Chains A and B, each alone.
Chain A
Amino acid sequence: GAVVSQHPSWVICKSGTSVKIECRSLDFQATTMFWYRQFPKQSLMLMATSNEGSKATYEQGVEKDKFLINHASLTLSTLTVTSAHPEDSSFYICSARDSSGAGETQYFGPGTRLLVL
């Protein structure tokens, strides 16, 4: 099946620093990628939809200036958590749909665990 990778798999940073997370579709092209956040024992919550070559669409309550998304190519989207604070500590997961096919199935990355001290 289709593979989506994320890097890094986990990161610990100091409060106030910025963290960049990469999401890559390895064997297919994805016009659209999605970024989710998951807190312990909670479901995945959509943060934003990343569109190749255009601005991301953010869900209500997600600060676009804090969570910067760049989808520069058909296989790469990045999420940058700017000026991270402890409340940003969470599990961040990206997903992508294959642009070439019906695109019904979303393939997820392995996730990135962020801990802000």
Chain B
Amino acid sequence: SQKIEQNSEALNIQEGKTATLTCNYTNYSPAYLQWYRQDPGRGPVFLLLIRENEKEKRKERLKVTFDTTLKQSLFHITASQPADSATYLCALDPSGQAGTALIFGKGTTLSVSS
């Protein structure tokens, strides 16, 4: 069956450390994968998109990798801050076409303590 899994439901780290979140998928061949941030009671906010031919993508303190052989994406937040505390969702488009919806993982709730 097709699955998208974020291995950790919760991750607690200290301020200044690097947070690493994992997203694994099975029985999909996505053309790209996306990461979103969701705060309590709010809709997801788009962070980064990485394509299958890209190994790594960076945006400020965020870094995403995409290994299509392992069927895995890693999401890193360097120099983490308490304001980074939120739930992070990975999502993929199973068809690669603009008219189809994203499939989401359950999310990892990150807590950064000062």
Contact of A110 among B42, B49, B105 (CB under 8 A): B42
B46 close to A106 (CB less than 8 A)? yes
Contact of B44 among A6, A31, A108 (CB under 8 A): A108
A113 close to B41 (CB less than 8 A)? yes
Binding site secondary structure of chain B: loop
Name B51's closest neighbour in chain A (CB-CB). A104
B101 close to A110 (CB less than 8 A)? no
Interface residues of B toward A: which range? 20 to 34
A91 in contact with B49 given A32-B99, A43-B104, A103-B98 (CB within 8 Å): no
A105 in contact with B106 given A44-B89, A111-B43 (CB within 8 Å): no
B98 close to A32 (CB less than 8 A)? yes
CB proximity of B90 to chain A, nearest CB, Å = 10
Contact of A106 among B41, B102, B107 (CB under 8 A): B102
A-contacting residues, B28-77, CB 8 Å? 32, 34, 36, 41-46, 49
Q: Which 7 A-B pairs have the closest CB atoms?
A: A103-B98, A108-B43, A43-B106, A111-B43, A34-B101, A43-B104, A108-B44
Binding site for A on B (CB under 8 A): 32, 34, 36, 41-46, 49, 89, 91, 93, 98-107
Binding site for B on A (CB under 8 A): 1, 4, 6, 31-32, 34, 42-44, 46, 49, 51, 91, 93, 95, 97, 99, 102-111, 113
